[in-house]
Amino acid sequence: MQTGIGFGDFEIELEDIRITKTMTFVRGFEPTAGGSIASSPKIWNNMIHFGSLDTNCYALTSHGEEIWRTKLGGMITWANPIFWKDFVMYGTYDHKFYALDSKTGKIAWNFQTGGKIVTQCNVSGNNVYVVSSDGYIYSLNASDGKELWRFRTGDKIATPPTVAEDRIYFGSFDHNMYCLSLEGKEIWRFKTGDEILADNPYKVYDGILYFASLDCYVYAVDAKTGRLEWKFKTGKYGNTCAPIRHEDRIYHACRDGIVYCLTKDGKEVWRFLADGLVVQVGIFNDRLFFGDESGNLYCLSLDGKEIWRFKSSGAVYTDPLFHDNMIYIGSMDCHLYCLNLEGKELWRFQTSSTTMSYIGEPYGMYEAVVRQEATKDEETKEEERYSVNFSEDFSNESEYSVKSEYVIKSEYA
């Protein structure tokens, strides 16, 4: 396993090394300019849509011919496109959320937040839910972008909101997983041991919400109450992947490059070690697909055996798009690739720049120390890091609150 640690001639067992996170997660918040693609491609109205760090959003035919591109005001990183009627929508690093005509690329409206939008937002019904690094989740009217309400957490939000059974779920850098009503009222929050961030929305299966945290745990909690069902310990560098469930198995990847298969009760079935950091996984035709930071796209059987891999020249952070027996992935090497189901390249599309963006060192927030035997007090403190609080414990005047459009209109000039 690659640990990112150099010890020269010293021989130290990995079990004797404790990896300590020394600062807030900052990777990707200050990328350099370039044509890299971290925004996962999606298909809508028979067009492939994706964004790029060159500040453009693109629409292509399924054969790689450009239909339109529109330059927005900021970089698009992990903000995957979302859709409502004829709109395609993106969040960007200029703090704005944009709605464009999906057929022409013309901007219909934009909404100003107070921070960078680094991840996918979501649509449900006629509402669009926008999350920002200003710590707010916003509910907007999808047709015109008018604000309906906003709810404030204690830190950045970099997880896509999940809407399921009339509730909204999302995590925050304040270490909490939140559950809100569709009106923006807090129902419960679940405390983890570190920041929560992801590129894809979390999923609710059979009343259980599955998510992960940079505290190196995967969690399964009751979606109605926030009660912990189980947690599973992953590697040493935390998690930024949204676990998925297929039949009676959970699939998840941690930042160490390990892909796990778990039972739905949180017991490990198998693991696979990739060549680099992995941030998301997907399933198609009973095969498991994921990219890694070394530029590979992997195809595995559901029992963890590698079938094939495709190598690009840059990190692959995007979720594969499957359409008409073809696979579409974006790469940090500034290309969108089209492959067949056997992993053979059919074509590639280059963005406006061949300069690869740099998002920071993968493990720059961590340091390695020789493990000391934990005391009972330390073990007790570790258990106290995880808890759930319910809405009745918070008053309307608490630090986390929901406001109407008219009260907050002047907060962001």
Residue corresponding to tokens 């690009």: 312
Q: What are the angstrom distances between the C-alpha of 239 and each of 196, 236, 370?
A: 8, 9, 22
At residue 21, φ and ψ (nearest 5 deg) are: -80, 125
Burial class (CB in 10 A: 0-12, 13-18, 19+), 380: exposed
CA-nearest of 110, 113, 106, 104 to 90 is 110
Give the span between the Cα atoms of 322 and 302, in whole angstroms. Answer: 17
Residue 233 neighbours by CB under 8 Å, 6+ apart: 216, 217
Query: What pTM, to 2 d.p., does this model score?
Result: 0.88
> What count of other Cβ atoms lies within 10 Å of the Cβ of residue 181?
14
- The sheet carrying 167-171 orders its strands as 162-164, 167-171, 176-181, 186-191, 387-390
In the numeric block, which tokens belong to residue 337? 């690739």
Phi and psi torsions of 31, nearest 5° = -75, 160
- Give the model confidence (pLDDT) of 145-166 as tens digits: 999 999 999 999 999 999 999 9
pLDDT tens profile 222-260: 999 999 999 999 999 999 999 999 999 999 999 999 999
Amino acid 389 reads: N
Amino acid at the residue 176? N
- pLDDT value of residue 375: 55
Residues in CB range of 323: below 8 A, 6 or more apart:
43, 48, 62
C-beta of residue 81 within 8 angstroms of C-beta of residue 39? yes
Q: What is the DSSP string of 285-349?
A: TTEEEEE-TTSEEEEEETTS-EEEEEE-SS---SPPEEETTEEEEE-TTSEEEEEETTS-EEEEE
CATH architecture classification, 204-316: Beta Barrel (2.40)
Q: Where are the domains of the chain?
A: 204-316
pLDDT one digit per residue (tens) for the chain, 413 residues: 333 333 333 344 555 678 899 999 999 999 999 999 999 999 999 999 999 999 999 999 999 999 999 999 999 999 999 999 999 999 999 999 999 999 999 999 999 999 999 999 999 999 999 999 999 999 999 999 999 999 999 999 999 999 999 999 999 999 999 999 999 999 999 999 999 999 999 999 999 999 999 999 999 999 999 999 999 999 999 999 999 999 999 999 999 999 999 999 999 999 999 999 999 999 999 999 999 999 999 999 999 999 999 999 999 999 999 999 999 999 999 999 999 999 999 999 999 999 999 999 999 999 988 766 655 565 555 555 556 666 544 333 334 444 433 333 333 33
Q: Are 240 and 255 in contact (CB under 8 A)?
A: yes
Cβ atoms 115, 133 nearer than 8 A: yes
